[in-house]
């Protein structure tokens, strides 16, 4: 049987177009959804990698402002907690079990999200949930005393710093905080980094070929080594920036605390880059000229305040953070860090409260229950409202409200009937052309 080479491509295109339209109609996002997904979550950006982290920072900003966070925001974070007490970066559905930590796939529950959540839950008065998170963290501790990003992986400075800050905030005993502090000190550069002005810095990890200073690791580790939790309490800050006298044994002697030496490095870093911590180019492993990492700069403010050194450098860094935050539109994580930095540096309560107000403005509203259609006797100008029982149910069970708005929402849209009709027409045309082609081929 011979097929028509002119008719067949047209038929295939018609069939493919019909199937594509049908798929589009059935998978189109619900344009008529009443509210955004994940009510109570701060920020409109994709929360896949930072949902719990940014939510926790936002709740901590409320503590810095001395205000009570919205119940929906707290409920969102509580609902994200896994059955074993840990947190992963984000759970699209709280009815689905968490993914266990997998350091090979970089997935599942992680120490960074859990540590910040433990701090935030405690600040919101949810001590039972905070204690469960701390217990999960203790189980994730590595044999070297530090903490990996994902349980079972290799320890790193940032993860260890996050956990140590959470332990500090929980008032954990020295038997718990000591090993983490000791691990961070093994990553601190001594006189081996003096030639490049990096003595006192913290490396991300020890790869066995010499420690490499890491700015992001240093600013977070500084808060942890200074013994602080979050928020960092305001306090006196000296103008000096300590530095070891080289040459001396490596690492620096215990007579000079690790936090003091790290503060000296951070102060010199801020001096060198006009009051900012620059961004790291991960492709080259070097700082990007002229860039500013607003988040790391905020952590520098927190670290210098916690350590009590580098007042001029801290104030310069705060000015940088303030400018960056002023330009931020929907970034609750950055706004929260700016609020925490302003609070730590002794800024006005009005300024901190203004940040919190901007953060709250990014919160996704609570899910609503569609109202029944008005009866024929109802006034045309009346606005239907949810029933009292439905409203009470949504507010008393935040997990149910959250799950009612999964990410991403899908369903019918006003275009669905049109798309399906067009799909049907194209499929019929395609089938008709194929039948004609088959007949033509038979006669040939």
Condensed to tens digits (0 to 9), the pLDDT of residues 221-276 reads 999 999 999 999 999 999 999 998 888 766 666 668 999 999 999 999 999 999 99
Evaluate if residue 431 carries a pLDDT over 70: no
Residue 91 to residue 115: CA distance in whole angstroms: 16
pLDDT of residue 244: 86
Residue 91 to residue 97: CA distance in whole angstroms: 9
pLDDT of residue 282: 81
Per-residue pLDDT of 144-203, as tens digits, reads 999 999 999 999 999 999 999 999 999 999 999 999 999 999 999 999 899 999 999 999
Instruction: Give me the mean pLDDT over the 388-410 stretch.
Output: 35
- As given in the structure block, the two tokens for residue 428 are 């019929």
> pLDDT confidence of 33, banded at 50, 70, 90?
very low
Alpha-carbon torsion angle 252, 253, 258, 262, nearest 10: -30
Structural contact between residues 398 and 75, judged by C-beta atoms closer than 8 angstroms: yes
pLDDT of residue 419: 45
Residue 61 to residue 2: CA distance in whole angstroms: 74
pLDDT of residue 9: 39
Return the minimum-mean-pLDDT range out of 12-26, 87-101, 306-320, 379-393. 379-393
Q: Which of 163, 142, 137 is nearest to 152 (CA)?
A: 142
Task: Work out the widest C-alpha separation in the chain, in whole angstroms.
Answer: 99
3-state helix, strand, coil in the chain (%, to 5): 50, 5, 45
Q: Which of 260, 258, 270 is nearest to 299 (CA)?
A: 270
Residue 10 to residue 23: CA distance in whole angstroms: 20
For residue 287, give the H/E element and its range.
Answer: strand 286-287
> pLDDT confidence of 335, banded at 50, 70, 90?
very high
State the residue for tokens 């960056």.
324
Cα within 13 Å of Cα(119), Cβ side: 31
Alpha-carbon torsion angle 303, 307, 311, 312, nearest 10: -50
Instruction: Give me the mean pLDDT over the 355-365 stretch.
Output: 97
Residue 153 to residue 142: CA distance in whole angstroms: 8
pLDDT of residue 30: 38
For residue 281, give the H/E element and its range.
Answer: strand 280-281
Helical residues (DSSP H) of 226-370, grouped into ranges: 258-272, 294-307, 311-327, 332-344, 349-360
Per-residue pLDDT of 348-358, as tens digits, reads 999 999 999 99
Q: Which of 37, 61, 38 is nearest to 334 (CA)?
A: 61
Structural contact between residues 57 and 116, judged by C-beta atoms closer than 8 angstroms: yes
- As given in the structure block, the two tokens for residue 377 are 């006797």
Q: Which of 316, 135, 116 is nearest to 230 (CA)?
A: 116
Q: Please, which residues bridge with residue 19 across strands?
A: none
Q: Which of 122, 134, 109, 132 is nearest to 74 (CA)?
A: 122
Exposure letters 363-386 (e unless 16+ CB within 10 A, then b): bbebbbbeeeeeeeeeeeeeeeeb
Q: What are phi and psi of 107, to 5 degrees?
A: -145, 160
Return the minimum-mean-pLDDT range out of 72-81, 133-142, 320-329, 417-426. 417-426
Q: What are phi and psi of 418, to 5 degrees?
A: -65, -45
pLDDT of residue 251: 61
SS3 of 202, please? strand
């Amino acid at each position: 049987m011979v097929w028509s080479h002119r008719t067949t491509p047209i038929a295939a295109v018609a069939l493919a177009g019909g199937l594509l339209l049908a798929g589009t109609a059935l998978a189109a996002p619900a344009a008529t959804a009443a509210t955004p997904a994940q009510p109570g979550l701060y920020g409109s950006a994709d929360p896949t990698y930072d949902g719990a982290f940014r939510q926790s920072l936002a709740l901590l900003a409320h503590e810095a402002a001395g205000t009570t966070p919205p119940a929906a925001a707290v409920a969102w974070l509580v609902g994200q907690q896994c059955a074993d007490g840990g947190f992963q970066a984000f759970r699209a559905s709280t009815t689905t079990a968490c993914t266990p930590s997998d350091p090979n796939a970089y997935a599942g529950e992680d120490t960074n999200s859990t540590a910040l959540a433990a701090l935030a839950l405690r600040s919101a008065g949810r001590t039972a949930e905070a204690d469960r998170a701390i217990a999960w963290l203790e189980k994730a501790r590595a044999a070297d005393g530090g903490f990996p990003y994902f349980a079972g992986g290799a320890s790193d400075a940032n993860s260890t710093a996050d956990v140590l800050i959470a332990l500090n905030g929980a008032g954990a005993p020295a038997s718990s905080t000591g090993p983490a502090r000791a691990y961070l000190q093994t990553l601190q550069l001594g006189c081996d980094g003096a030639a490049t002005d990096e003595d006192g810095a913290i490396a991300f990890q020890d790869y066995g070929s010499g420690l490499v200073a890491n700015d992001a690791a240093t600013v977070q580790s500084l808060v942890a080594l200074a013994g602080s939790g979050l928020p960092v309490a305001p306090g006196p800050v000296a103008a000096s920036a300590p530095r070891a006298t080289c040459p001396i044994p490596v690492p620096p002697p215990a007579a000079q605390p690790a936090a003091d030496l790290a503060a000296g490095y951070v102060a010199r870093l801020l001096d060198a880059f006009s009051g900012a911590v620059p961004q790291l180019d991960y492709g080259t492993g070097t700082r990007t000229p002229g860039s500013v990492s607003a988040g790391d700069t905020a952590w520098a403010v927190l670290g210098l305040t916690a350590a009590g050194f580098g007042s001029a450098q801290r104030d310069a860094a705060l000015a940088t953070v303030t400018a960056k935050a002023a330009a931020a539109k929907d970034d609750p994580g950055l706004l929260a860090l700016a609020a925490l930095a302003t609070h730590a540096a002794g800024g006005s309560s009005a300024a901190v409260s203004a940040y919190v107000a901007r953060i709250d403005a990014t919160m996704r509203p609570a899910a609503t229950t569609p109202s029944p259609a008005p009866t024929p006797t109802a006034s045309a100008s009346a606005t239907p409202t949810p029933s009292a029982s439905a409203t009470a149910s949504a507010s008393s069970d935040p997990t149910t409200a959250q799950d009612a708005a999964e990410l991403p929402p899908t369903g019918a849209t006003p275009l669905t009937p049109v798309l399906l009709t067009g799909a049907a027409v194209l499929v019929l045309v395609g089938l008709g052309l194929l039948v004609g082609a088959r007949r033509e081929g038979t006669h040939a």
